[in-house]
């Protein structure tokens, strides 16, 4: 089989060993009688050899170790995820319970009724009445509710941080 | 005989951290070099390298072991490079000029040798190294994957998300640009 001059693709594929045995045989037969194509193959081969000789850039020192450390930290961070979810849900339940307890306590010692009266007759409002209202607030239930809500906030913030995709810096 | 990438991944999935260390040692240099040639910034190349392996770890539960790992890994790196380089508006393959005045038919019969053909191998290698850095990033990427990292055409196609014939075309054009740049340098001297 006689083929015309090699196409640029054929020259590249020959140099890259991307031809099957049949194609290679045909092309090599052509090369035996075509100095022009032989010269082009030599040219392409020299370029390839030069490309393969391009040196790799040196790695920054300790890059593999630093990546490994970061991967380990990321795995630890993700391993905390189920516990964070459980902790957040648990603290949410506890906070809800304390809120209910606080509401019941406020109802039991009449603060809610007192507040309703105060706002209905705002002309009767005075600082003495306000202090009396504050003195009647159930301190323990209030503090526990505030702490529980803060705990929910902390766990929610940590959960959001864990789930948030980190941009490449 | 070294275990294959897929074997190492399977071991890592079962909790063997050393298997992932082996994978990192195998590919960190290649990923870093690719990222550096893409972004031309050592810090960003380092960040891309780190983020590439982090993405693998994140995707580990759903990672398929029947798909070649190497193109998948480099695909992540290339996509990360694209995301970062988008700020600098990288040259896309579709925007690359066709070689000015390049007529494939003429080049078949033009017997005039280029000046760089008279260079010794060592000097040619040095000039090719410099010319490679000056090429548009897409051309540099395909050339580096093929000749710097010994990717097959199929692996390049999978990594860059291009058809096989397109990869061949890009390689051919990239080398044409490289030769043209070498010839220009020799002419200017």
Note if the pTM is more than 0.90.
Answer: no
Mean pLDDT of chain A: 85
Q: CB-based contact (8 Å) between A50 and chain B?
A: yes
Find chain B residues with C-beta within 8 A of A13's C-beta. Answer: 168
CA distance B132 to B182: 10
Surface of B (9-48) touching A: CB under 8 A: 17, 20-21, 24-25, 28-29, 32-33, 36, 42, 44, 46-48
What's the CATH class of domain B93-188?
mainly alpha
- Among B155, B2, B133, which residue's Cα sits nearest to residue B72? B155
Angle, vertex CA A146, rays to CA A143 and CA A147, nearest 5: 85
**B111 at A interface, C-beta within 8 A:** yes
CB contact (8 A) between residue B54 and residue A39: no
Question: Touching check for A31 and chain B: CB below 8 Å?
Answer: no
C-alpha closest to that of B59 among B156, B49, B51: B51
- Chain A partners within 8 Å of B176 (Cβ): 8
- Residue holding tokens 């890259």? A16
Tell me if ipTM is over 0.90: no
Q: Residue B161: which residues within 8 A CB-CB, separation 6 or more? A: B75
Spatial contact of A11 and A41, defined as CB atoms under 8 Å apart = yes
Alpha helices in B59-152 (DSSP H): 69-85, 104-109, 121-134, 137-143
* Residue ranges of domains in chain B: 5-88, 93-188
Query: How far is the C-alpha of A136 from the C-alpha of A159, rounded, in Å?
Result: 37
Question: Tell me, what's the pLDDT at B147?
Answer: 93
Which among B160, B161, B165 is positioned nearest to B137, based on CA atoms? Answer: B160
Is the four-CA dihedral B55, B56, B61, B63 of positive or negative sign? positive
CB-based contact A43 B117, cutoff 8 Å: yes
What CA–CA distance (Å, rounded) separates B126 from B129?
5
Q: B5-88 with B93-188: one CATH topology?
A: no
C-beta neighbour count of A13 within 10 angstroms:
21
Between CA B38 and CA B84 the distance in angstroms is 10
Residue B171 at interface with chain A, using a CB cutoff of 8 Å: yes
More confident residue, B153 or A125: B153
Protein fold of B5-88: Rna Polymerase Sigma Factor; Chain: A (1.10.1740)
Contact B117 A56 (CB under 8 A): no
Report the alpha-carbon distance of residue B169 to residue B166 in Å, rounded. Answer: 5
> How confident is the model over A30-44, as pLDDT tens digits?
999 999 999 999 988
Per-residue pLDDT of chain B in tens (189 residues, 90 and over written 9) = 788 898 999 898 888 889 999 999 999 999 999 998 888 889 999 999 999 999 998 888 888 888 889 999 999 999 999 888 876 665 555 555 444 444 343 344 444 556 667 777 788 888 888 888 888 888 888 999 999 999 999 999 999 989 998 998 889 889 888 888 888 877 766
Helix (H), strand (E) counts: chain B: 9, 0
Contact A36 B109 (CB under 8 A): yes
Query: Measured at the alpha carbon of residue A43, what is the angle toward residues B102 and A16, in degrees to the nearest 5?
Result: 95
Question: What is the pLDDT averaged over residues A160-167?
Answer: 74
Q: Choose among B47, B125, B175: nearest Cβ to A53.
A: B125
Q: How far is A168 from chain B (nearest CA, A)?
A: 7
Is the sign of the CA dihedral A16, A20, A24, A26 positive or negative?
negative
SS3 content of chain B, % helix, strand, coil (to 5): 75, 0, 25
């Amino acid at each position: 089989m006689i083929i015309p001059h090699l196409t640029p693709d054929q020259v590249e594929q020959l140099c890259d060993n991307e031809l099957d045995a049949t194609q290679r045989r045909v092309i090599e037969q052509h090369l035996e009688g075509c100095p022009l194509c032989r010269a082009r193959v030599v040219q392409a081969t020299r370029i390839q050899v030069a490309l393969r000789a391009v040196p790799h850039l040196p790695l920054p020192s300790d890059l593999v170790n630093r990546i490994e450390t970061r991967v380990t930290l990321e795995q630890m961070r993700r391993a905390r995820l189920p516990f964070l979810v459980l902790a957040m849900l648990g603290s949410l339940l506890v906070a809800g319970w304390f809120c209910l307890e606080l509401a019941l306590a406020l109802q039991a010692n009449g603060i809610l009724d007192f507040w309703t009266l105060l706002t209905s007759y705002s002309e009767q409002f005075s600082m003495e009445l306000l202090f009396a209202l504050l003195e009647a607030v159930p301190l323990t239930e209030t503090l526990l509710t505030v702490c529980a809500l803060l705990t929910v906030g902390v766990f929610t913030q940590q959960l959001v941080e864990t789930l948030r995709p980190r941009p490449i810096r | 005989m070294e275990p294959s990438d897929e074997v190492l991944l399977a071991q890592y999935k079962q909790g063997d951290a050393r298997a992932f260390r082996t994978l990192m040692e195998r590919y960190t240099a290649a990923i870093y070099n690719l990222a550096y040639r893409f972004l031309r910034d050592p810090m960003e190349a380092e960040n891309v390298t780190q983020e590439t392996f982090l993405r693998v770890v994140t995707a580990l539960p759903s990672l398929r072991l029947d798909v070649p790992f190497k193109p998948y890994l480099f695909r992540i790196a290339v996509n990360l490079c694209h995301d970062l380089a988008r700020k600098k508006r990288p040259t896309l393959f579709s925007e690359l000029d066709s070689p000015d005045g390049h007529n494939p038919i003429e080049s078949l019969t033009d017997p005039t040798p280029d000046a760089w053909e008279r260079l010794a191998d060592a000097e040619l290698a040095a000039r090719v190294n410099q010319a490679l850095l000056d090429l548009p990033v897409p051309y540099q990427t395909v050339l580096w994957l093929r000749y710097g990292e010994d990717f097959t055409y199929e692996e390049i196609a999978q990594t860059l998300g291009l058809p096989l014939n397109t990869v061949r075309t890009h390689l051919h054009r990239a080398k044409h640009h490289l030769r043209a740049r070498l010839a220009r340098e020799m002419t200017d001297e």
